[in-house]
Amino acid sequence: MNTLATTAKYFFVITMELTVLFLGISTLVALILMYISQEKIKNWMSGKGIWGNFIGAFMGALTPFCACSTIPLALGFLEAGITIGPILSFIIASPLLNPIILSMLGAFMGWQVCAIYFSVVFGGAVIFGLILEKAGAVRLVKNVRIKGDGNQENGEVPLAFISKLKLAFGKAWADFRAVLIYLLIGVGIGAAIYGYLPQEFVLRFAGPGNPLAIPVAAIIGVPLYIRAETAIPIGVALLQKGMSVGAVIALIIGGAGMAIPEMSMLASIFKKKLVAAIVTVIFVTAVIGGYIFNMIL
């Protein structure tokens, strides 16, 4: 009964904390984006050289998009004439970096972990976007067209700040409802791990002493589609049970970096070789990031 009570308390506390974080950060981001037009974003991403990749990764990090929004935006960028490198940096960063993920990492795993995670993933998005462009990724883009004007903004943005704030909270609430089931699943699994999984078992197979724990975690994560909102509560529980921080980060990056729906949608605009290259990039980022974490922490 004590274990059950501890598990239930863990589930309740983490769920409440995640709810407050998600709604607060999502509202703030939605409010900020009301002041930035898509035309400005496209102009910034059109910058030459690595600057365009930097802006592409930054926009992916700033915007809490799911695949259903990321892919149409990527198509819009293609039709706007933006080079493939910044678009790939945007696609790589989008599922792995956003204010919600970063705030969850900072709150539950520490701000040092959050800062290193951001540096690793952001740097990977910029560098790999640039490498894939130099490798001729533009030849692997299918000849597709956007239906409609490609504008993701629904209706006019109100002028009054209070009206903007209400609209921003409405969007945050809609996003929260869309991910609530994933969040609850993640917290539920995390609570069960926290309450019942033997610590000795975790230490034996995924502890700091096992050098293969990181690539194994990344391999498990890539085909295992778990949203970051689901993966982080699971990772926190595994970390508390003794799993190395590097293996936890590899699992989060591998699992959240390449969702099955996103891969399917990417296959509609990119050829198989480029989709496979993106999956490889996610895996390499997960493994390198995991080892960097273990070295630093």
Give the pLDDT of the chain (297 residues) as one tens digit per residue: 557 787 788 788 878 887 887 788 778 877 877 777 667 777 777 767 788 899 889 888 877 555 556 776 777 788 778 889 999 999 899 888 878 788 888 888 888 989 999 999 999 999 999 999 999 998 998 865 544 444 444 456 667 888 888 888 888 888 788 768 877 877 787 678 777 766 676 667 667 777 788 888 887 766 555 666 677 787 788 888 888 888 888 888 887 776 666 677 788 788 889 989 988 998 899 999 999 998 887
The residue range of the domain holding 24 is 2-296
d(CA 197, CA 193): 5
Dihedral class, residue 64 (left if φ above 0, else alpha if ψ from -120 to 50, else beta): beta
Other C-beta atoms closer than 10 Å to the C-beta of 201 total 12
Other C-beta atoms closer than 10 Å to the C-beta of 280 total 13
SS3 15: helix
Number of domains within the chain = 1
d(CA 38, CA 42): 6
